Amino acid sequence: MSVLSKNYTLNNGVEIPKLGLGTWFIDDADAADAVRAAVATGYRHIDTAQAYGNERGVGEGVRTCGVPREQLFVVSKVAAEHKTNESAAKSIDETLEKMGLDYLVMMIIHSPQPLFTTKKGQFTTFQIDIARTYPI
């Protein structure tokens, strides 16, 4: 069995592929081809971020790779400059629009900052239904 077909199971039961395509330093113009090539090789975990500037191309690759969307574990990250829930939520909507996707499997806070914490020191979560792994 290839490492590309092995998964970890998260605490909520969602499975995440052990190996994923990281798209940092892939230009937006080249991202769709990179995603399609990776998926053709067997990758099912695709990772991008707002800060990478390639979400549009990554989304195109996801949409046109020939593998059903529900079989892909697509991740992006909220850029560090979003310091409020409102700003982060707006940026997530922009990510979905850029990528041309209805949902992401996971959205990560790229660089957590103290301004995102509650009085107890825990991160607040966004109550929007765009991610399957954890309500953001």
> What is the pLDDT averaged over residues 49-69?
98
Model confidence band, residue 118 (pLDDT cutoffs 50, 70, 90): low
The catalytically annotated residue of 8, 43, 52, 134 is: 52
Q: Is 42 inside any structural domain?
A: yes
> What is the pLDDT averaged over residues 64-88?
92
If one compares 134 and 35, the residue with the highest pLDDT of the two is 35
> What is the pLDDT averaged over residues 69-92?
91
Tokens (6 digits) for 72: 């892909």
By CB atoms closer than 10 A (0-12, 13-18, 19+), residue 122 is exposed
- Structural domain span for residue 21: 3-116
If one compares 94 and 13, the residue with the highest pLDDT of the two is 94
Closest CA to 89 of 112, 62, 109: 109
Q: Is 62 inside any structural domain?
A: yes
Q: Is 122 inside any structural domain?
A: no
CB 95 within 8 A of CB 104: yes
Whether 134 is catalytic: no
CB 96 within 8 A of CB 102: yes
Q: Lowest mean pLDDT of 13-17, 19-23, 50-54, 119-123, name the range.
A: 119-123
Report how far residue 111's alpha carbon sits from residue 136's, in angstroms, rounded to the nearest whole number. Answer: 15
Give whole-number Cα distances, 21 to 64, 75, 76, 86, 113, in Å. Answer: 16, 10, 12, 29, 26
Residue 112: pLDDT over 80: no
pLDDT in tens, 29-38: 999 999 999 9
Q: Is 97 inside any structural domain?
A: yes
Task: Report the CATH number at residue 34.
Answer: 3.20.20.100
Domain count, the chain: 1
- For residue 136, what are the contacts with CB-CB under 8 A and spacing of at least 6? 92, 107, 125, 126, 128, 130
